Amino acid sequence: MRDLTIFLYEWKHFFRNPFKILAVFLFIVAGVYGLNNGYSLYQNQTAEIEKIHEKIQTEKEQYQQQYAEGKLTDDSRPWIDMASPFWAIWYTPTYHIKTPSPAMVYSIGQAEQYGFYKRVTFMASPYDADMAEEIANPERLQTGTLDFAFVVLFLLPLLLLILLYNIKSAEAEQGFLPLIEVQTASKNSWLISRILFYFLLVTSVTIGLLIYGAMLTDVFKNASEAFGQILLYTLLYLAFWSLIFFFILKNGNSILGNTLQMVGVWLLLAFVIPAIVHQSISISKPANLMTEFIEVRDKQEELYANDSVFERKLIDLFPEITKTTAFNDETKFNSAMSNSAYALVNELNKEAIRPIEKESQDKNTLIEATYWFNPVTFFQNKFNSIAQTNYNDYQVYRDEIQALIDKRTGVLIEDIWADVKVDTERYKWYSESLSTAR
């Protein structure tokens, strides 16, 4: 029997089976729903970012107006002097935003576990409370949002299972198998052709869904590479499950036995193995309670309590200040020194963050080491990565925030000690330059 004939018979078989048609229909519904969930989050984040941009713009304009009018202090708070670099930078509204990738439509990933905008100040740190996720129902976060990645990772193998479960075993149970062996050159190629039919059917459905998703957020225009990668990994995942099911079908001759094995493998790979890995990692590395980060508060107190240590640390960090005017001017020295405190606190924060991030990185290394026997987690994190909703993408975002804080404190120290008088031009420069880490 030629492949085309097998394909045609399989097509007829598929169309005469309402259960299989319903399964494909439900898969499409779930896919469309999942893509719309991704799109909805993308839209919400984009709208929120738009509001933040407007807010920054209004604030900037208000302060620029103050500079233009020469209103550099506040009557109720006379200690504020916006001509000084300290207060000028204090009042330079800077946000760092993680712009969602259009590919988020495919995988929401960990996007709901982290904040995506952060006001950068002298005292800021990438682990501040405002870096927490958007307000959401924890039970919903626990259940997880049904996104496209979920549909592919968990429902696609089930769809394949429903489409394939009785292939060959039904014929075996009805006693047709010897007849088929006579009619086909090889039993295996007959089985492969039938599986291939469903592989192609599911591939077409998946490509259709991917294109629908791409149209929602303009993926082709803004993230065409991501589309190609998602397609590639989806096909690899589909091929992976098709191969597993092929071996089960090849070696089994009963519908019940095959279904049991297929469901068993699915439960093992989608539930049991990831759950065991998750549990083991939680035992070997329990949730970090951020005590190192909390300790910064005491280290800060110690720093403030000893002027000479404070001065030495500041000079170690910024040796160039010793050559500045303020350093050699007794009237300016003390104020410059106290206004430099945030730069040292920033260093303390960075020191505290290092072991915390190392622990997280160690956990990730452990997770990645399990990929060879934990393929669902591998594909899950791959999808998240392509959609830029993976832990590592948020780590990059946190690093960018840290770079902005470093730049802010760097400019602060430079201008305080150089005794810069801030005017409209300098303020504009702050507004533009402090928004980018470069």
What string marks each residue from 292 to 321 as x (binds another protein by CB under 8 A) or -? --x--xx--x--------------------
CA nearest neighbour of 217 among 44, 396, 31: 44
What string marks each residue from 73 to 112 as x (binds another protein by CB under 8 A) or -? ---xx-------------------------------xx--
Shortest distance, CB of residue 305 to another protein, whole angstroms?
A: 11
Shortest distance, CB of residue 101 to another protein, whole angstroms?
A: 17
Instruction: Kindly state whether residue 271 participates in binding another protein, applying the rule CB under 8 A.
Output: yes
What string marks each residue from 152 to 171 as x (binds another protein by CB under 8 A) or -? -xxx--x---x--xx-----
Phi, psi (rounded to 5 degrees) for 2: -80, 155
Structure tokens at 270: 């989608």
DSSP 320: G
Q: Which stretch binds another protein (CB under 8 A): 122-130, 204-212, 216-224, 238-246?
A: 122-130
- Near another protein by CB under 8 A: residue from 236, 275, 309, 396: 275
Phi, psi (rounded to 5 degrees) for 95: -120, 145
Residues 37-76 that bind another protein (CB under 8 A): 37, 44, 48, 51-52, 76
- Near another protein by CB under 8 A: residue from 101, 384, 402, 431: 384
- Near another protein by CB under 8 A: residue from 359, 414, 419, 423: 359
Residues 206-245 that bind another protein (CB under 8 A): none
Do 193 and 3 touch, CB atoms closer than 8 A? Answer: yes
- Near another protein by CB under 8 A: residue from 58, 65, 186, 279: 279
Do 185 and 192 touch, CB atoms closer than 8 A? Answer: no
Q: Which is nearer to another protein, 60 or 382 (CB)?
A: 382
Residues 174-213 that bind another protein (CB under 8 A): none
Phi, psi (rounded to 5 degrees) for 372: -65, -25
- Near another protein by CB under 8 A: residue from 6, 72, 103, 146: 146
Query: DSSP H helical segments within 268-295, as ranges?
Result: 273-284, 291-294
| CB environment 357-375: b (16+ within 10 A), e (fewer) | eeeeeebbeebeebeeebb
Distance of CA 408 to the CA centre of its chain: 26
What is 220-240 written as a DSSP string? HHH-HHHHHHHHHHHHHHHHH
The dihedral sign for the CA sequence 267, 157, 143, 109: positive
Q: Which stretch binds another protein (CB under 8 A): 223-231, 253-261, 317-325, 334-342?
A: 253-261
